[in-house]
Amino acid sequence: MKNESGEASVEEENQEQPKEAGKFIKVKKFTFIMGIFLLIFLTAGITTIALTFGDEKVESLAPDKHSEFEKLFSTYDTIKGNYYKDIDEDKLVDGAINGMIKSLDDPYSAYMDKKEASSFHESISSSFEGIGAEIQEQDGHIAVVSPIKGSPAEKAGIKPNDIVLSVDGKSVKGLSSSEAVLKIRGEKGTKVKLTISRAGETDPIEFTIKRDTIPIETVYAEMLDDGVAKIQVTSFSEHTVDELKTSLEEMSKKDMKGLVLDLRGNPGGLLDQAIDMASLFIPNGEVVLQVENRSGKKEVYKSNNDGALKKVPVVVLIDDGSASASEIVAAAVRESADIPLVGVKSFGKGTVQTAEDFDDGSNFKYTAAKWLTPDGNWIHKKGIKPDIEVKLPDYASLPYISPDKELKASDSSSEVKAAEKMLKEAGHDPGKIDGFFDEDTTNAVKAFQRDQKIKETGIIKDDTTVKLMQVIRDKILENDTQLKKAVEVVKKDIK
């Protein structure tokens, strides 16, 4: 059994045994949905059956004691006996389980067939092939939680809260997150076309992204000026805390005097890793989080800090891509260790999922509980407001322009307007920013192409588009207003 705190297609650890992170319980499908597989026995004339689970005996699962299954039995028998074509019984059972879970109307609960389950397991392994974006089903749509750092999705310009309308021209509306993942993932070197709807954009945006190997390296450390270290954690997988400890030790050897823990764009992951990570910064015995089941019973998890790591001033960075496990850490360190949060409001996922494997390789996960902050707050669909709100510059929100699309003189579109803004930020004045590709725009494009040693065509396409967006990304990194504020706050506490 594996619990997850950040979804999309991966995440959390059992609320009662959070350290059992790599162990999935294998269960038979009739154990999960007894009535469905009982059909096979009923059609053979058997009406009573006893099953044994350890020392516990469960008797008489016949319809008279489980009348809620009668419609299901009848439907199965009718289809099996009278449908005009031969049926795949396994597929029929899979559909029944899938329908049951979908009826929960919960974007974090899902049934996965063998292929989908394999993809689920890859999400917490050492690497997988795809575009590197965490997604979730949201009100019948597929929404991006966050792209993975350094992934093709991030480089292409995929952003948190983007809605995926179609994959390779086929609509994904109504699909589960695991079904959508299978369509988006693929072999390294192949391409996938995503059509995205983005808030603030009138028209859908098309992305053509080349798939690559996505390594699950989750911790990136660097020493900034004046002894301030920055450590970015991009997700919570099986070895994240070990990676973080190693990075902290490396930074300590470089005379770390303060730390910025960057959880921006972190979609979450395994609950046990979130608990152990928060414990590194919270005094031993202080509350990390509470997990509450449907009866209201709360399980309280406390810090197991052994005091081995060097204590320095810490600030945590969050944004709208910080979800679930990263929100657990952010809330815990603020409420139990008085560590300030800088950035913008987080995503807002306050539930815990449990995942279980069937013995045929399929899998299902369901929401088993909700988690609360140390002070008992439930942040679900609300997010966490930072102590110090800092936004990135406006140009950080400029939309993606597909390199495959040609923008040239006399064109008029939202893409042209975005390109004009990019050109201006890149130091080349396109004249009036109005979405019309006029002579001033052409001259600005040629000047940009000269600077970048690209053939001067005055047309925005291919290399010109890629270079233009890269210049903007570099400028965002150079002028990371959120990081600058976090460093400023940390330095005030360095003695």
Residues with active-site annotation:
324, 335, 349
Specify burial of residue 293 (Cβ count, 10 A radius: 0-12, 13-18, 19+): middle
- φ, ψ dihedrals at 455, nearest 5°: -55, 130
Q: Give the number of other Cβ atoms within 10 Å of residue 463's Cβ.
A: 13
Nearest to 203 by CA among 472, 416, 408, 437: 416
- The total number of residues shown for the chain amounts to 495
Residue that is written with structure tokens 């495959």 in the block? 404
Q: Give the number of other Cβ atoms within 10 Å of residue 298's Cβ.
A: 14
Secondary structure of residue 231 in the 3-state scheme: strand
Query: 3-state DSSP: the chain helix, strand, coil percent, rounded to 5?
Result: 35, 25, 45
Contacts of 470 (CB under 8 A, 6+ apart): none
Nearest to 303 by CA among 336, 330, 327: 336
Secondary structure of residue 102 in the 3-state scheme: helix
Nearest to 328 by CA among 314, 345, 307, 349: 349
Secondary structure of residue 299 in the 3-state scheme: strand
